[in-house]
Amino acid sequence: MADKIWLASPHMSDEGYEMEFIKEAFDSNWVAPLGANVTGFENEFAVKVGTKSAAALTTGTAAIHLALKAVGVDSGDIVFCQSLTFSATANPIIYQNAIPVFIDSNIETWNMDPVALEEAFVKYPNVKAVIVVHLYGLSADIDRIIEICYRFNVPIIEDAAESLGTYYKGTHTGTLGEYGVFSFNGNKIITTSGGGMLISKNEDQIAKARFWATQARDKARHYQHSELGFNYRMSNISAGIGRGQLKVLDQRVAKKRYIFSYYKKELSCLEGLSFMPINDWNVPNCWLSCITLSGAIRPLDVMIALEQVNVESRPVWKPMHMQPFFAEYDYIGGTVSEQLYENGVCLPSDTKMTDKDLERICTLIKGLWK
């Protein structure tokens, strides 16, 4: 059988940058705890996306958790959260004993619908925070969302876990709201084997997040704690991988965009097949190339056909308001996120794919229409 093709898998640099940073850590015995790689990764990352400060954490989920804490979300508070996303966006709302209200997407962006958001503000004027997602590396229409949130004086947390390298009107996603969150999980555009980053213009708040993330140890010789702490800091080894990966981010974005354009060129002609929306204000990283199907060929047909030749693909995220765990919470909007889930497929988007791999995948998909 042909070699496995993954949806998206780790892709280390050809130059071995990651190993150089890891070797430095070994040579100086800064295997742990925090060290030069963590500080280096934070500073280099902040420069890359164009923000003031960044805190390197164990996961993107931890970054969302600390962002919620930083904006003051606490027990019983309401948080508006995009419904069409991965569960890691919403789970930290529950960690804080707060109450999610899920918001639909619009078809133009696949991300939070500003109209549904306005509606939600009318119903829940006392909301504490809004979490907007830039799904699959597509940017939400963040200007419109910011305008609404500012009018109601509510902070925005941008879940940019999938959108490292995506720009909105020339500005990097994740830098436009109060807080931005990134993930370096194994399937993301760059990986640290697992990790996350919390960014903000507010350096004091990032310093505070670092404090919470290291067990909230007060400045004292003895172990003293005035606040609840978490063990959320990234290790110096993981950060070394991150520093190396950051050097090849632009290459990875270029390849992801190439993969998307390849599919578009080959598959656009197929009846009922549409591609995820690329808006002219949005320079997306194309983390995953996604399609929707409205004709006789269904997502499952495509996924099974690919699986039979050892190629991984996936459905579009199942919205949070359809999840058994979140069933009790309110949902504002129509059926856009449900339709995207029912009709969507994420095509293989691994940056290690060759043109031959892409050709094989496209030939197979086109075969389903014959």
Ligand X SMILES: *Cc1c(COP(=O)(O)O)cnc(C)c1O
- Is residue 185 a contact residue for ligand X (CB under 6 A)? yes
Q: Answer for the pair 289, 349: CB distance below 8 angstroms, yes or no.
A: yes
How many residues make up the chain in this entry? Answer: 370
Nearest distance from C-beta of residue 367 to ligand X, angstroms: 31
Q: Given the complex with ligand X, which of 60 and 165 has the nearer CB atom? A: 60
Rounded CA separation 111/328 (Å): 22
Total interface residues for ligand X by CB under 6 A: 14
Measure the CA–CA gap between 242 and 37, rounded to whole angstroms.
9
Site of tokens 């791999």: 357
Q: How far is the CB of 133 from ligand X (least distance, A)?
A: 5
Q: How many CB atoms lie within 10 A of CB 269?
A: 9
- Which of 249/270 has CB closer to ligand X? 249
Beta-bridge mates of residue 172: 167
Q: Which stretch binds ligand X (CB under 6 A): 99-107, 156-164, 249-257, 336-344?
A: 156-164
Q: How are beta strands 314-315 and 78-82 bridged, if at all?
A: unpaired
Strand 344-347 relative to strand 289-293: parallel, antiparallel, unpaired? Answer: antiparallel
CB-nearest residue to ligand X: 60
Would you give the binding string for ligand X spanning residues 243-272, x where CB under 6 A is met? ------------------------------
Q: Does 349 bind ligand X (CB under 6 A)?
A: no
Rounded Cα distance, 214 and 360, in Å: 48
- Location of structure tokens 């632009």: 250
Q: Binder to ligand X among 196, 299, 319, 344 (CB under 6 A)?
A: 196
Identity of the residue, 93 or 365, whose beta carbon is nearer to ligand X in the bound complex? 93
**Which has the closest alpha carbon to 300: 368, 370, 360?**
368
Per the listing, tokens 């993107």 go with: 60
Q: How far is the CB of 159 from ligand X (least distance, A)?
A: 5
Residue 323 class from Cβ within 10 Å (0-12 exposed, 13-18 middle, 19+ buried)? middle
Binders of ligand X among 43-62, rule CB under 6 A? Answer: 59-61
81-140 positions binding ligand X, by CB under 6 A: 85-86, 88-89, 133
Q: Does 159 bind ligand X (CB under 6 A)?
A: yes
Task: Tell me which of 78, 161, 246, 336 binds ligand X, using CB under 6 A.
Answer: 161
Q: Which range binds ligand X by CB under 6 A, 1-9, 159-167, 256-264, 293-301?
A: 159-167
Supply φ then ψ for residue 293, to 5 degrees: -125, 125
In single-letter form, the type of residue at position 324 comes to P
Whose Cβ is closer to ligand X: residue 165's or residue 358's?
A: 165
Q: Does 288 bind ligand X (CB under 6 A)?
A: no
CB of 145 to ligand X, least distance (A): 16
Sign of the dihedral defined by the CA atoms of residues 69, 75, 79, 85, in that order? positive
Does position 205 interact with ligand X (CB under 6 A)? The reply is: no
Binding site for ligand X (CB under 6 A): 59-61, 85-86, 88-89, 133, 159, 161-162, 183, 185, 196
